[in-house]
């Protein structure tokens, strides 16, 4: 087989947006968690060896933030060690890896008032943030041809899907219900930006 693009996590909110941007293209393989689960060692290596994509877009993640604190091993299995295997598989198959990370890699500086930039040192304060930062380091160290995109809350035409809700959907529901809406300023600023960290 000769796929040109593989989208991991194609059933999630971000993955579905990428699928809608690449409709009907025979060179695109949309892989759900059932097809390629980063928590299962060896699975992604075998899949990429079979498909031989030129570009891998990793939209998959263990991103249930509260549950990450209760079960950090589940977060690290996907966000760190699964991403490590993915980075190695991309390198071995000469594929470019586009990997999505999070603003949760920051937070240690509680008094910070300025927006973060790509060159700022990370400092996660949660298991989720730490697992995602470890994944970033694996990508940077193991896959020469990569892009790391740090982003905040996601929203789009397809909605949040199985996770429950997203920022925009929550705001619309509260407004429709006539409830008071209170949002911290950093969330507003973060929703408008995404950082791309290159090697």
Active site amino acids: 128
Cα 102 to Cα 23, 27, 134: the distances in Å are: 26, 28, 12
User: In a 3-state reduction of DSSP, which class is residue 144?
Assistant: coil
What is the C-alpha separation between 127 and 135, in angstroms, rounded? 12
**CB distance 81 to 98 below 8 Å:** no
What is the C-alpha separation between 150 and 111, in angstroms, rounded? 21
What is the full DSSP assignment across 61-91?
----HHHHHH-HHHHHIIIIIIHHHHHHHHH
Q: Give the burial string for 124-152 (b: 16+ CB within 10 Å, else e).
A: bebbbbbbbbbbbebbbebbeebebbbbb
Which of 149, 122, 118 has the alpha carbon at shortest distance from 134? Answer: 122
């Amino acid at each position: 087989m000769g796929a040109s693009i593989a989208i991991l996590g194609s059933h999630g909110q971000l993955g579905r947006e990428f699928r809608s941007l690449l409709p009907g293209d025979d060179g695109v393989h949309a892989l759900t968690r059932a097809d390629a689960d980063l928590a299962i060692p060896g699975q992604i290596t075998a899949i990429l060896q079979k498909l031989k994509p030129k570009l891998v877009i990793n939209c998959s993640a263990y991103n249930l933030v509260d549950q990450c604190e209760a079960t950090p091993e589940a977060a690290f299995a996907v966000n760190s060690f699964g991403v490590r295997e993915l980075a190695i598989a991309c390198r071995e198959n000469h594929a470019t890896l586009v990997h999505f990370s999070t603003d949760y890699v920051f937070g240690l500086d509680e008094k910070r008032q300025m927006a973060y930039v790509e060159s700022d040192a990370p400092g996660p304060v949660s298991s989720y943030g730490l697992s995602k930062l470890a994944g970033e380091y694996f990508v940077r160290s193991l896959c020469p041809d990569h892009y790391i995109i740090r982003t905040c809350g996601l929203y789009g035409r397809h909605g949040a899907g199985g996770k429950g809700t997203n920022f925009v959907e929550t705001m619309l529901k509260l407004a429709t219900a006539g409830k008071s809406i209170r949002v911290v300023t950093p969330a507003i600023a973060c929703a408008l930006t995404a950082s791309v960290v290159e090697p």
